[in-house]
Amino acid sequence: MSEVASSQVVKSIGASGQISLGKEFAGRQVLVDSPAEGVWFIKAVKVVPDHEAWVDEPKVRNRLKRAIRLALDNPATDSDPDDLPKVSNKKASNAQRKSRSARSK
């Protein structure tokens, strides 16, 4: 485990009740814990909205890791459309019909 240097700095609370932590913390979200009157612990946090929390479920996280690994192991390559196999008009029109039908559902 890495060691974190502890430091204490005296700050003034402004007339509007704000404390400046410095520009390096601008835009960050923090958790302010007040275990007693006049005591505050400020911790940097990352908040995940409820509608995005599904991404952090173990099953989804594992599937994403596998997908990323597959993409890294099989990088995209340039291709020439003229080198692709020709599809008969009947197969092409069936594929287009299925695609349109799926979109309309």
3-state secondary structure (DSSP) of residue 44: strand
pLDDT digits (tens, 9 = 90+) for 2-54: 666 778 889 999 999 999 988 998 999 999 999 999 999 999 999 989 999 99
Q: Could you give the C-alpha distances from 39 to 29, 42, 66, 82, 89, in angstroms and in order?
A: 19, 10, 45, 71, 75
**What distance in Å separates the CA atoms of residue 95 and residue 89, rounded to the nearest whole number?**
10
**pLDDT digit string (tens) for 8-21?**
889 999 999 999 98
The answer for residues whose C-beta is within 8 angstroms of residue 92's C-beta and 6 or more apart is: none
pTM here? 0.45
Going by C-alpha positions, the residue among 58, 20, 59 that lies closest to residue 42 is: 20
User: Which amino acid appears at position 99 of this protein?
Assistant: S
The DSSP symbol for 15 reads T
Q: Where are the domains of the chain?
A: 49-75
